[in-house]
Amino acid sequence: MFYKELKDFPDNFLWGASTSAYQVEGAYNEDGKGLSVQDVHEAPEGITDFKVASDHYHRYKEDVALMAELGLKAYRFSIAWSRIIPDGDGEVNEKGIEFYNNLINELVKYHIEPVVTIYHFDLPLELHKKGGWANRNTIDAFVKYAKILFENYGDRVKYWLTINEQNVMINHPNAMNPGKVPSKKELYQGCHNMFVASARVTLLCHEMVEGGKIGPAPNITAIYPEKCNPADVIAADNWEAIRCWLYLDIAVHGRYNNLVWAYLNEKGYTPEIYDGDMEVIAKAKPDYLGINYYATATVAAAKNDGTDCQPRNGDQQIMIGEEGVYRAAKNDYLEITDFGWMVDSIGMRVTLRRIYDRYHLPLLITENGLGAKDELVDGKIHDQYRIDYLQRHFHQTKLALTDGVEIIGYCPWSFIDLVSTHQGYGKRYGFVYVDRDEDDLKEMKRYKKDSFYWYQQVIKENAKSI
């Protein structure tokens, strides 16, 4: 639909930026922190440095001052579970509590709204050794951990996110499972346990945090059929349900998506559901939905001849296909980044419309951004490509707003350069450049990229000219 005039972003719109603990903090074994699965993960590409990352743990004051200069209204970050409870379910580490207290106070000082992800890919290693999410005890451990966060930070943190990209952890499990990757059956048991854990934590947040809002943060994307051939449409529906709607249907409607349940049955992946699980899930209602969006995916009808699945790297945006369910297909209408990710700004509008149409809850864009090989030349980073990318996605978001979708904020990935899950510092997303490379930490000096100044202007004028 074309419009004569577009709606403005609301006055209190949360222009923000995102990071996650293990990708930005470093200090992986300092001040009592326990190990997480990420600290021992060996990426096939050989990038394993989550140990120092962007050294945000030691430089958070300088970083928050940069956020304030950028004009951020919100900062979405995650808390490292193993910093708060080193072995996942035992003693509390006071130094860990103190770090996030300081960080939150610093944000509050500059009137930046903290948006906290409780868990972003970094399960404490000790819990992983005991079976990770497939073990029901991890549910209790997560609830205990969340309770500590609500107790300590609930007076200042009002926006909470339960789990980052649960759907990526199930569909691309390599990076979250050092050692042997669990079977699909085990993964879906873990997935069910995460649903129960999120539901309990959602209820707890409502009980403990006055004015607290909480929601999930899956990676959601519209799935296109390769052609208007109805068999391709079936494949697109299959994959959209398995990849996306399963996670939001549970969170919002409190039930398993019927198509996904049929798929789980067919494949022999149905999880064991304990008495009371579905009641808790149905009772817990999110206040808003966090949405990570990078690009749409395109699929074709499955052939079911042993060739539907074509494994590539474990990258979360690269579709691999599944026998008898869908095949990955090319979309010749879209550009592609240097890292093989599609770029689809209109797809963002499509995705936002589809989500809102299904759930009618306020949406917070919790991730979206461009990973690129930025270059520091004479103290400057000319990342016009990132500006173009964000400009187009902001514009499509404005169109979605005009379509009537309720959007409360936008937190691009990422505030500052951090370790990419698969390409380390070879793939950067930040508005702020961190001067280090894979092997040489240098001084890790911060530089403002061109996109920093551009975003600063966008926030100042509340994206009037977007």
Nearer to ligand BG6, 288 or 425 (CB): 425
Q: Which stretch of DSSP H or E encloses residue 357?
A: helix 345-359
Nearer to ligand BG6, 367 or 383 (CB): 367
The answer to whether 414 and 369 are in contact (CB under 8 A) is: yes
Nearer to ligand BG6, 166 or 193 (CB): 166
Nearer to ligand BG6, 209 or 370 (CB): 370
164 binds ligand BG6 (CB under 6 A): yes
The answer to whether 153 and 104 are in contact (CB under 8 A) is: yes
Window of 160-168, 199-207, 327-335, 393-401 that interacts with ligand BG6 by CB under 6 A = 160-168
Nearer to ligand BG6, 263 or 339 (CB): 339
Letter string b/e over residues 69-106, b meaning 16 or more CB atoms within 10 A of that residue's CB: ebebbbbbbbbbbbbbbbbbbeeebeebbebbeebbeb
Contact pattern for ligand BG6 over residues 348 through 377, marking x by CB under 6 A: -------------------x---x------
Could you tell me the two tokens for 161?
Answer: 């996110």
Residue 404 DSSP SS3: coil
Which of 106, 113, 165, 186 is catalytic? The answer is 165
Q: Is 69 a catalytic residue?
A: no
The answer to whether 52 and 431 are in contact (CB under 8 A) is: no
> Minimum Å distance from CB 278 to ligand BG6?
28
Letter string b/e over residues 298-311, b meaning 16 or more CB atoms within 10 A of that residue's CB: bbbbbeeeeebeee
> Minimum Å distance from CB 168 to ligand BG6?
5
421 binds ligand BG6 (CB under 6 A): yes
| Dist CA 196 CA 282 (whole Å) | 10
The size of the chain, in residues, is 466
> Minimum Å distance from CB 223 to ligand BG6?
16
Please, how many CA atoms are within 13 Å of residue 316, restricted to the half-sphere of its CB? 25
Q: What angle, rounded to 10 degrees, do the helices at 137-153 and 184-208 form? A: 30
162 binds ligand BG6 (CB under 6 A): no
427 binds ligand BG6 (CB under 6 A): yes
Question: What part of residues 316-355 is at the interface with ligand BG6 (CB under 6 A)?
Answer: 316
The answer to whether 188 and 270 are in contact (CB under 8 A) is: yes
Give the residue nearest to ligand BG6 (CB).
420
Give the interface size with ligand BG6 as a residue count (CB under 6 A). Answer: 15
Render 85-145 in DSSP notation, one character per residue.
STTSSS---HHHHHHHHHHHHHHHHTTPEEEEEEESS--BHHHHHTTGGGSTHHHHHHHHH
Nearer to ligand BG6, 9 or 28 (CB): 28
Window of 96-104, 249-257, 414-422, 434-442 that interacts with ligand BG6 by CB under 6 A = 414-422
* Strand partners for 15: 410
Could you tell me the two tokens for 417?
Answer: 């350069």
> Minimum Å distance from CB 427 to ligand BG6?
5
Nearer to ligand BG6, 116 or 281 (CB): 116
Q: How far apart are the first and last CA of the chain?
A: 18
Contact pattern for ligand BG6 over residues 282 through 321, marking x by CB under 6 A: ----------x-----------------------x-----
Sign of CA dihedral 161, 16, 110, 425: positive
417 binds ligand BG6 (CB under 6 A): no
Question: What part of residues 8-47 is at the interface with ligand BG6 (CB under 6 A)?
Answer: 20, 23
Which of 126, 186, 226, 367 is catalytic? The answer is 367
Identify the residue among 177, 219, 221, 391 touching ligand BG6 (CB under 6 A). Answer: 219
Catalytic residues, which ones? 165, 367
Site residues (CB under 6 A) for ligand BG6?
20, 23, 164-165, 168, 219, 292, 316, 367, 371, 413, 420-422, 427
